[in-house]
A and B are shown apart, each in its own frame.
Chain A
Amino acid sequence: NAGVTQTPKFQVLKTGQSMTLQCAQDMNHEYMSWYRQDPGMGLRLIHYSVGAGITDQGEVPNGYNVSRSTTEDFPLRLLSAAPSQTSVYFCASQRTGFNEQFFGPGTRLTVL
């Protein structure tokens, strides 16, 4: 199993550009989520999904969109990047009924 994979590892954008951060898992987990990690603030939940076709907002959803067309994939879209979205982004997955979330290696995004 590859676990949770994320691409790209690094990305630099200009203000106003759009992009999609990819996340995939091969563990057949129902639950997937996106977090951003900022210095001194821990990880904050952006969006999450409890299954294909079902998504919901987390703590800091503004400026981000998600969709979940398959169990395996959960992409995060930035429609118009802003410098405030400079962060490290982590995707995670979890099997329903179990406590442990599995994290991807992260994407470091810089918005100039």
Chain B
Amino acid sequence: GNSVTQMEGPVTLSEEAFLTINCTYTATGYPSLFWYVQYPGEGLQLLLKATKADDKGSNKGFEATYRKETTSFHLEKGSVQVSDSAVYFCALSVLFGSSNTGKLIFGQGTTLQVKP
């Protein structure tokens, strides 16, 4: 079946530290991969995405590369800020039917806390 596994949190870092949140997936076919972010008290927002192998998604200093050989999509940021404190979800999209629209399958989420 299709599934997403993220590293367990919480992750606590000091400001300006390097961030990696691991994400691996299992999927049939060729899924699209996503990172969503959820700030406290809010809904989910798309952070970045990649639709095929070796694609790199990037946004707001965050990056993730679609690695088909290792079935991974790890999230990285070179220098985190306090404002990056949030819950981060890795997800994959599996197309269904002929609608070219995908269902999202989420990992369990990783809480990031950045301290000044």
Contacts and interface: CB of A to CB of B under 8 A. Distances in A.
Interface string A41-84: 11111001010000000100000000000000000000000000
B58 interface: no
A77 B102 CA distance: 24
Interface of B (DSSP majority class): strand
A100 B103 contact: no
Interface in A86-101: 90, 92, 94, 96-97, 99-101
Contact of B101 (A44, A97, A103): A97
B82 interface: no
Interface residues of A, number: 26
Nearest to A42: B106
Given A99-B51, A103-B43, A31 B106 contact: no
A99 B106 contact: no
B58 to A, nearest CB: 15
Contact of A50 (B43, B44, B97, B109): B97
Contact of B49 (A4, A30, A44, A99): A99
A35 B109 CA distance: 14
Contact of B106 (A43, A48, A104): A43
B46 interface: yes
14 contacts: A33-B104, A42-B107, A42-B109, A43-B104, A43-B106, A48-B103, A92-B44, A94-B101, A94-B102, A99-B93, A100-B49, A101-B46, A103-B36, A106-B43
